[in-house]
Structure formats: structure tokens, C-alpha cells
Amino acid sequence: MRKIVAVFVMFLVVGSVALLSSCAPKQKTPSVIKFGAAVSLTGKYAREGKFYKDGYLLWEKKVNDSGGIKVNGKSYKVKVIIYDDESNPAKSQKLYEKLVTEDKVNFLVGPYSSGITIPDSSIAEKYKIPMIEGGGASGKIFSRGYKYIFGTLPAAGNYFKNTIEMLHMMTYSSNNSNKVTKVAIVHSDSAFDNAVANGAAHWVKAFGLRLTGVQEYPSGSNDLSSILTTIKKNNPDVILVAGHTHDALLFIRQAKENKVNAKLMAFTVGVQAVDFREALGKDADYMVGVTPWLPSMNFKGEVFGTAAEFAKTFKDAYGYSPDYHAASAVADALTFQHAIAKAGSLDPKKVRDAIASLDVQTMYGEIKFQANGQIAKGQAVIQVQNGKAYPVFPKQIAQKKLLYPAPSWDKR
Amino acid sequence: MFEFQVIINGLLLGGLYALMAIGMSLIWGVTNVINLAHGALIMLGAYTTFWLFKLLNIDPFVSLAISFTTLFVFGFLVQKYIINFVIRAKMFITLLLTFGLDILITNVAQTAWTSNFRQTSPAYSANGFSFGFITVPYVRLSAFIISIILVFALYIFLKKTKTGQAIRAVSQDIDAARLMGINVAKTFALTFAIGSGLAGVAGSMIGVLMPITPQMGGIFTLKSFVVALVGGLGTIFGPLVGGLFLGLAETLGSFHLGAKYADIIVFGILVLTLIVKPTGILGKNDE
């Protein structure tokens, strides 16, 4: 008898504790909107991963300091939960699954690199939680008919479009000295760089220039001398390189070693970054890059003010100047902020629809998405002149004239 | 014409591969530890030279000695106070330990110096001389010569000096060496120190030729591993032969078949070696 009572009491205690604990979170309804991200804080993308983390957290602080986000008259604080994916796509996918199922985040912001974003976007689609990412531009992210993935980097296939258009205008203008006839493309075997190279090859032909060859190398290669020898053989006027920062640095150093002189060398990644220019010193001059964003561009939005003001806020917080990675990370979060306000709800489906039809001005420029979820923004062409990067094309935003042709290595 | 340039580039790259692999091959051959932190040591060498150049304006070739000494001491301490505890354990354990060390060193470096790209850029970097259509960069040529000098210096050290003979004795038979009065623990630590110092020298040169980041080491561990195996484990000239062979195969293969096949060529050679002659090009077949 006593045993039965004891068991009964035990059940009662366990039951009431369980009841209490299940009630507890309900009592304080979350007045926090949770965002989740897995970025690379270690491994080969640690450098870029940090830009995204810093960008997301800067936005979080800015929003919370100014009173949070208002949804239907109720104020919410925001919180961004960030994990380290170790630059590993499989790990990243697991972390996003955890963010959705265990941390119960409301919305997702993206990782860095196309290779990692591709599997992660499937998580967003599977759970119907919108993800806005600023770290992957490969067309493969947006070509699968997904409804819940949005990207703030311009399409990979269009990375060199403006550069090639600029070359086209030089070639077909009246000025005879600046003709471009032959273009060579070099790219790494990553998903993103493949997409850039395919797009670039398309635009070279579309703009009436001649392609002398497309060469591919394994990501993270430590020797590009054979590619450079082939280039020397073909003697192109222009070399377009789609690879990560490491590859761009190595390419320039080895081009100089092998005395490969092109009139123009353009890179997808690197030229925008301060450490890239510092590592190369004077050799960085005349190098051309593309960027969706620079602090000097005349963009302006509600939360951070102008691009320059944003850059200052960022630098004050972290001690280094933001490049387009950090800016696009902040743009991801800003897009959510605008979309939530527009939807007047935290319902993932409603916010998703609000993102799809959004059209706002921000410190990152106009945020408006194409039907496939990728931003409808273009890339400005920039060139390093005396150690600083200036926009040189399109005309509306150019601050300097393109220096062309670049002098040969021995004349610098 | 371009063929010659590719061959020159291949030989120079091979010299660099040899330089990377000497230390790993020595440690592997003597202590039977496959040091997966080898690339991280190369990275430390690269940073040593970079900071000495950047902060004190010390020429990279002068700082070779400093880089060697720093990594020598570092390697000695790592072996004596960490690796030595598991030196007699199964190879799997030492693999795990050095793998962990690699992650640790890389992450400490990342915390200390950030992941920003850096490059040691003395005025003469990337310059070179030309004859006809062929160009030869000074720094790569120097790295090539240094690696040959180091291989021969190591040869003389191991053959002629008492300490060198002790190292060889330990690598042949630990128990017999101990019976002859050789301090095995000290010899292991010394071997690890020399191997690390050589990695430091390799790093110093690589930092002038390639971008420096805390993560740069991974690929060098892998390449050194392949070079050491293909050249012949436990042989003094193995790294040089293996390095030159792989350097040539990689550049010639990339030039004729396309650069995207570079990795396939390198690791294809590794697999072929393991099948056809597991002891490597210079290795003896008698075991």
C-alpha cells in the first residue's frame, strides 16, 4: 500500500514538474525574433566567414539599440545565433537543420561561398523558412525553383559582364589605341568560379571579342605556372580570373615571375580587399576587380544611412573597413527587417512573399529580387590606382578613368 | 620553346617541393611519426620571416637562420613534452596527435594574426633573369639551390657526425641503439627539432612566393607526404628525387593536359608508386 502511494506521489511530482516546465516558455511569449546562421569561423573560409559574422552582429546591435523591430505595433528585439561550419558544407547543412529544429529560429541568414550555400538552401526550402544569403552567387543556388532562398550577391554568370561591356566600348569606340581583341579566362574548379567563367565566356562572345582559351585549375592550387605559360603562348590582351583571393594573389605573383604581361587583368575576388592590396604592394596597381559595393558608392538607406556612414560604423565597431562581403551580410539582415515591416507578421510564408516583392533603397543599393530569388543588381568595375581601389565603370559611378593598357612588369 | 619554360618551372617547383618534404621525410624515417602538423610548421616559418621582414626589415634570406632556429626549438619542445608520450604507441595514435596539433597551431595562429592574406615582398621578389624566352625567378632559383644544399648538408650530418650516426642508428633499430648507450628520447627530440627547423626554412621561402595565411599549411602537408613517399621513405635523397619528379610531372601534365588535372596527376603518381614500388623511387626493396 505504502509503495503504491509512493509511486502515485512520484507520478504527481514528475507530472506537475513536466506541466510547469512546458508552461514556462509560453508564459513569456518570445519578444525576440531569432535569426540563425552558420558561417566559416575556422577552416579555409575563416577570413570571409568573419566578415559575415561581424556584419550580422553589427546589424543586431544597431537594431536593438534603436528599439528593435515593430510588428503590428509590438516591439521585438532581434537575436542572431551564429555557429561555426568549419568551412565544411556537410557540417553547415547540419547546423542549419539544428537552427531550424532545435533553436527554432524565425529566419535564416546565409553562410559564405556558393559550395556551402547550395546544400544549405535545401534546408530553408525543406522547412519553408526564408533564407537570405550574401555569400553565394552561383546560379546553381537559384536554378532549382526554390521559393525560400534569396541572394544579395549579383549572379555569378554576370560577374564580368560590366567588365566585358567596358572592353567592348573601348574596342568599338573611335579611339584606336585601346582595342581589345583577345581575352583569356582562367578559373578554379569550384561551383561558383565555373559559373562565373561560363557567364564570362558567353559575354565575351556576345560583346564581339575573341576568346583565346578557358583554363581550369583545382581550387587551392599552389602553382599556376603552366596556365601562365599557356597564356604567354596565346598572348591575350585581357585575362579574366575567377578564383578565390589566395589564387588571385598567387596568379599575380607568378605572372610577374613569368613575365606575363596583359594589358588588363581582372579578378572576381581580391581587388576589393585591403589585405590583398597590402600583400601585393605596388604590384596591385592596374589590377581590375568587380564589386557590388564600395563605401564610396552613392547608396543610402534608412537604418545605416549612406554607404560611407555604414563603413564608418563598421570600422568603429571592429577596427577594420568592411568590404562587399560584410555589406552584403548586413544587406541580408536589412532585407528581413524591411520585409517583416512590410508583411506586418512573423509568418514565414508572409515574410517570404514580402521579400519577393520588396523594392527598397539601402546602404547596399537597391534591394529588389529577380523571380529566381537573386538580386537584380550589377557589378561595378574597379581598378587599383596608387594602392587604392576606385570605381571606373559604369560611367554614372566612375571616380577615375580606367588606366589601360597596364605597363609591362619591367616598366613599373 | 614554351616546353623549356615549363620544364624550368617544373624543376623549380620540384626544388620547392623537396624543400618542404625534407623535414617530414626525416621525422617519418627516423621516428616513424607521420607529422600531420608539418604544414603548420611551414606556416609558422612563413610568418616568422614575414614579421621579421615587415617589422624589422630583415631580409628573408637572412631570416632563414632565425626561422630555422625558432622552429628547431619549437619542434624540440613539442616532441619532448607532447609527442614523446605516445612515441611508442600505434601509428594511429601519433597520427591523431599530430592532426590535433595541426588544428591547434593553425587556430592559435588565426587568433593571433587573423586570416588576412599576407606576403613577404622584398624588392627583388618575383624578379628574375631571362635568356631568350626563358625566365628564371631569383627566389625560386634560390629555393631550389637551398634545397639541394640542405639535402647534402643533411647527408654529411647523418653520415659523418656522431649525433647523425646516432639518429641513423635509432632509425634502424631502437633497442640495439639503446643498448649501445644512445639516448633514444633525446635523439628523437633532436630529429624532430631538425625536421621542424627545415620546415621553418621551407616556410620562409614559400612566404616570399605564395600568399601567407594560417590555413596555408594543409596543402603543404599533403604535398610533402606525397613527395616523401614517392621519393622513398628513410632515404636522404628521396625528397629531392621525389620533389623534382612530382614538380616536373605536375607542370608538364598541367601544360599538356590542362591544369585541372594537376591533382589527379600528383595523386595518381602516389597511387601508382604504392602499387608498383611501395618503398618509393630510391627505397630498397628488401623488407
C-beta atoms of B135 and A257 within 8 A: yes
State the burial class of residue A140 (Cβ atoms within 10 Å of its Cβ: 0-12, 13-18, 19+).
middle
How far is Cα A157 from Cα A315, in angstroms, rounded to an integer?
Answer: 31
pLDDT given for residue B87 in this prediction: 84
C-beta atoms of A281 and B121 within 8 A: yes
Nearest to A259 among B130, B210, B250 (CB): B130
* DSSP character string of A73-103: TEEEEEEEEEEE-TT-HHHHHHHHHHHHHTS
Nearest to A275 among B116, B218, B262 (CB): B116
- A49: nearest CA in chain B? B115
pLDDT given for residue A220 in this prediction: 86
Q: pLDDT (tens digit, 9 = 90+) per residue, B197-212? A: 999 999 999 999 999 9
E-strand ranges in chain B read: 128-131, 134-137
* DSSP character string of A177-232: GG---EEEEEEESSHHHHHHHHHHHHHHHHTT-EEEEEEEE-TT-S--HHHHHHHH
| B7 pLDDT more than 70 | yes
pLDDT given for residue B9 in this prediction: 95
How far is Cα B17 from Cα A291, in angstroms, rounded to an integer?
Answer: 36
- Alpha-carbon distance A276 to nearest alpha carbon in chain B (angstroms): 6
C-beta atoms of A224 and B13 within 8 A: no
- Alpha-carbon distance B259 to nearest alpha carbon in chain A (angstroms): 5
Chain B residues whose CB is inside 8 A of the A232 CB are 2, 5
pLDDT given for residue B194 in this prediction: 97
- A220: nearest CA in chain B? B219
Instruction: Select the residue from A88, A215, A223, A323 to test the B interface by mutation, using most B Cβ atoms within 10 A.
Output: A223
C-alpha cell belonging to residue A153: 550577391
Q: Is some CB atom of chain B closer than 8 A to the CB atom of A224?
A: yes
C-beta atoms of B116 and A233 within 8 A: no
Chain B residues whose CB is inside 8 A of the A249 CB are 117, 119, 210-211
Across the strands, what pairs with A83?
A38
Chain B residues whose CB is inside 8 A of the A215 CB are 258-260
Nearest to A217 among B137, B219, B260 (CB): B260
Mean pLDDT of B117-124: 92
C-beta atoms of B210 and A43 within 8 A: no
The number of helix segments (H) and strand segments (E) in chain A equals: 12, 17
A225, B13 contact by CB (below 8 A)? yes
C-beta atoms of B215 and A221 within 8 A: no
- Alpha-carbon distance A220 to nearest alpha carbon in chain B (angstroms): 8
State the amino acid at position B200 in one-letter form: G
* DSSP character string of A151-177: E-SPPGGGTTHHHHHHHHHHHTSS-GG
pLDDT (tens digit, 0 to 9) for every residue of chain A, 412 residues total? 555 555 555 555 555 555 555 544 444 555 899 999 999 999 889 999 999 999 999 999 999 999 999 998 899 999 999 999 999 999 999 999 999 999 999 999 999 999 999 999 999 999 999 999 999 988 889 999 999 999 999 988 889 999 999 999 988 886 667 788 899 999 999 988 999 999 999 999 999 999 999 999 998 899 999 999 999 999 999 999 999 999 999 999 999 999 999 999 999 988 988 889 999 999 999 999 999 998 888 899 999 999 999 999 999 999 999 989 999 999 999 999 999 999 999 999 999 999 999 999 999 999 999 999 999 888 899 999 999 989 998 887 888 999 989 999 988 8
User: How is chain A split into domains, by residue range?
Assistant: 32-156+296-367, 158-294+379-411
pLDDT given for residue A378 in this prediction: 80
C-beta atoms of A275 and B9 within 8 A: no
pLDDT band at B110 (very low <50, low <70, confident <90, very high): very high
How far is Cα B105 from Cα B48, in angstroms, rounded to an integer?
Answer: 14
**Residue closest to A190 by CA, chosen among A229, A145, A152, A220:** A220
State the amino acid at position A393 in one-letter form: F
- Alpha-carbon distance B237 to nearest alpha carbon in chain A (angstroms): 23
pLDDT averaged over chain B? 93
- B-facing residues of A in 16-75 (CB < 8 A) are 42-44, 46-47, 50
Nearest to B260 among A189, A254, A256 (CB): A189
Q: Is some CB atom of chain B closer than 8 A to the CB atom of A184?
A: no
How far is Cα B33 from Cα B176, in angstroms, rounded to an integer?
Answer: 20
According to the CATH classification, is domain A32-156+296-367 in 3.40.50.2300? yes
Nearest to A218 among B116, B117, B260 (CB): B260
Cα–Cα distances (Å) from A264 to A261, A310, B92, B113, in that order, read 8, 32, 51, 33
C-beta atoms of A220 and B130 within 8 A: no
C-beta atoms of A233 and B263 within 8 A: no
C-beta neighbour count of A340 within 10 angstroms? 24
C-beta atoms of A229 and B215 within 8 A: no
- For chain B, which residues lie within 8 Å of any Cβ of chain A, measuring from their own Cβ? 2, 5-6, 9, 13, 106-107, 110, 114-119, 121, 125-128, 130, 135, 137, 140, 209-216, 218-220, 223, 250-252, 254-255, 258-260, 262-263
A375, A356 contact by CB (below 8 A)? no
Chain B residues whose CB is inside 8 A of the A50 CB are 114-115
C-beta atoms of A225 and B135 within 8 A: no
CATH number of A158-294+379-411: 3.40.50.2300
C-beta atoms of B117 and A275 within 8 A: yes
Q: Number of Cβ pairs closer than 8 Å across A and B?
A: 122
- Alpha-carbon distance B178 to nearest alpha carbon in chain A (angstroms): 42
Residues 6+ apart with CB under 8 A from B131: none
Give pairs for A12-17: CB < 8 Å, separation 24+: none
Same fold, A32-156+296-367 and A158-294+379-411: yes
